Homo-oligomer: A and B are copies of this chain.
């Protein structure tokens, strides 16, 4: 998952971030509301951790503005300092999906983030394209009866491609989905991973699913599909 942390307490943000990164998530940070909103609009996150009290633009206002955007829906988990704040929040209900009162345990934070993200994708928690399927809960991918061995990056690429299918995923979108703001220097890395993914998906199968759109990107679909 790609997660945005909006939190002005640098120590807390670092704590959360290190923990999440240790569990294989990709984390971006924002120290204030303005830059947080900006990042949230620019990029596409699977979930946002948002502190209620922020300098500049507070959590409630940020939430409201983000929901006002007609763009993609992003699950938001709000952090509050005291129970009283939280109760007040529930009355207001500015559009957060879940709440957590400090102090909290990091494993619980992660669990809630995953639950939110899973619900957000609920109808598609089993992605299917032709005889290829990816279970987002177990993270197991299959092509027919054969189970595919994928690296974490390979899985994310596959997920991105399957969600977009049968549309094309541009190289830029793919790079952004995998590495976010910090892509590797050359684009050779993407080529290498595509190569590995293609080997996993299409090897030993006459029906090819992963197609290259020269100069544009990649596309996952049965060849003659629309």
Contacts and interface: CB of A to CB of B under 8 A. Distances in A.
B73 A139 contact: no
A108 B119 contact: yes
A86 B122 contact: yes
A2 interface: no
A135 to B, nearest CB: 6
Main secondary structure of the interface of A (DSSP, over half): mixed
Contact of A138 (B95, B215, B221): B221
A160 interface: no
Contacts of A22: 93
Contacts of A213: 139
A108 B86 contact: no
A184 interface: no
A111 interface: yes
A25 to B, nearest CB: 13
A74 to B, nearest CB: 9
Contact of A137 (B112, B139, B167, B214): B167
A116 B107 CA distance: 12
A61 to B, nearest CB: 15
Contact of A104 (B86, B104, B119): B119
B139 A168 contact: yes
Contact of A140 (B67, B107, B226): B226
29 contacts: A67-B107, A67-B110, A70-B114, A72-B115, A73-B107, A73-B115, A75-B108, A76-B107, A87-B126, A90-B123, A90-B126, A93-B106, A97-B108, A98-B105, A99-B122, A100-B122, A101-B123, A104-B122, A135-B226, A138-B166, A138-B167, A138-B221, A138-B225, A138-B226, A139-B213, A140-B226, A147-B224, A152-B214, A152-B216
Please list the 8 inter-chain residue pairs (A to B) with the smallest Cβ-Cβ separation, ordered nearest first: A73-B111, A137-B167, A97-B105, A99-B123, A95-B107, A152-B215, A101-B122, A138-B166
